[in-house]
């Protein structure tokens, strides 16, 4: 099965929450190759996905790189005195679906010569772009789509997160020539149950399964 990559138009827009919902819906494994910045208790996105997805702990794969500083991975690695080798960032081979989460947005550098978009271009796995619904998303989304397409990255679709915004949700897929997979609403409490329900009700999971 081909892995699915979850990337975003920005940092902090809901990639991990969507990746957790997708991991749960597919019964997938989850892998975040590069974690830059850890919470006070040493946890990162993988721990959030473990809590929210409902999959077995063994399905949450260890990061290839865990970097202390909450900044761009290329710089976080330099501060930690390590160099990430993009060629060595191959997804673990596992049975069944695998959800991979990037860090930050598509043009975030992993090294001084390689961005996440470049890495996705090497991999050629289908990519889901997560985008906000609010003001500013048209520009960020269309630029991200252009960057991915310019590198020949297969773009499976865009997932919006946030309050409904009909026009933004229409114009981005239209101008970006990309399929909308739906909009995950803002949840009052992000719990495993509420997230699984929102995913079932709002996202075209079948379209993602077709790409596996």
Binding site for ligand ATP (CB under 6 A): 8, 11-17, 45, 103-104, 161, 184, 186-187, 190
Is the Cβ of residue 60 or residue 173 nearer to Mg ion in the bound state? 60
List Cα–Cα distances, 42 to 17, 32, 35, 38, 122, in angstroms: 19, 15, 11, 5, 31
DSSP conformational letter for 203:
B
Please confirm, yes or no, whether 32 is among the known catalytic residues: yes
| Residue 181 binding partner per list Mg ion, ligand ATP, none, with a CB distance cut-off of 5 to 8 Å that depends on partner kind | none
Report the nearest approach of ligand ATP to the CB of residue 71 (Å). 11
Q: From the candidates 5, 26, 31, 32, give the one annotated as an active-site residue.
A: 32
**Nearest residue to 161 (alpha-carbon basis) of 128, 192, 133, 199:** 133
Q: Does 16 bind Mg ion (CB under 5 A)?
A: yes
Is the Cβ of residue 52 or residue 173 nearer to Mg ion in the bound state? 52
Distance CA 93, CA 95 (A): 7
Distance CA 105, CA 10 (A): 4
Both tokens assigned to 24: 């749960």
- Cβ density class 187-200: b for 16+ within 10 Å, e for less: eeebeeeebbebbe
> What does 148-194 look like in DSSP terms, one character per residue?
HHHTT--EEEEEEESS--HHHHHHHHHHHT--EEEEEPPPSS--HHH
Report the nearest approach of Mg ion to the CB of residue 75 (Å). 18
Report the nearest approach of ligand ATP to the CB of residue 95 (Å). 26
Stretch 173-202: interaction string toward Mg ion, x if CB under 5 A: ------------------------------
Distance CA 162, CA 183 (A): 7
Is the Cβ of residue 45 or residue 169 nearer to ligand ATP in the bound state? 45
Q: Does 9 bind Mg ion (CB under 5 A)?
A: no
Considering only residues 7, 10, 15, 20, which one is a binding residue for Mg ion as defined by CB under 5 A? Answer: 15
Report the nearest approach of Mg ion to the CB of residue 138 (Å). 22
Footprint of Mg ion (CB under 5 A)? 15-16, 45
Active site residues per annotation: 32
């Amino acid at each position: 099965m081909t892995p699915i990559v979850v990337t975003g138009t920005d940092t902090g827009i809901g990639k991990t929450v969507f990746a957790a919902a997708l991991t749960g819906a597919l019964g997938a494994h989850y892998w975040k190759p590069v974690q830059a910045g850890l919470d006070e208790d040493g946890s990162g996105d993988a721990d959030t996905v473990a809590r929210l997805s409902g999959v077995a702990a063994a399905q949450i794969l260890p990061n290839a790189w865990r970097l202390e500083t909450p900044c761009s991975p290329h710089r976080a690695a330099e501060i930690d005195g390590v160099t990430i080798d993009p060629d060595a960032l191959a997804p673990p081979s596992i049975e069944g679906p695998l959800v991979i989460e990037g860090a930050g947005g598509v043009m975030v550098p992993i090294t001084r010569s390689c961005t996440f978009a470049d890495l996705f271009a090497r991999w050629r796995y289908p990519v889901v772009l997560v985008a906000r619904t609010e003001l500013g998303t048209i520009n960020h989304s269309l630029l991200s789509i252009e960057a991915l397409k310019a590198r020949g990255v297969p773009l499976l679709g865009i997932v919006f997160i946030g309050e409904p915004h009909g026009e933004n949700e229409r114009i981005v897929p239209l101008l970006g020539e990309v399929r909308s997979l739906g909009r995950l609403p803002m949840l009052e409490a992000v719990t495993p149950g509420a997230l699984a329900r929102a995913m079932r009700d709002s996202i075209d999971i079948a379209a993602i399964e077709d790409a596996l």
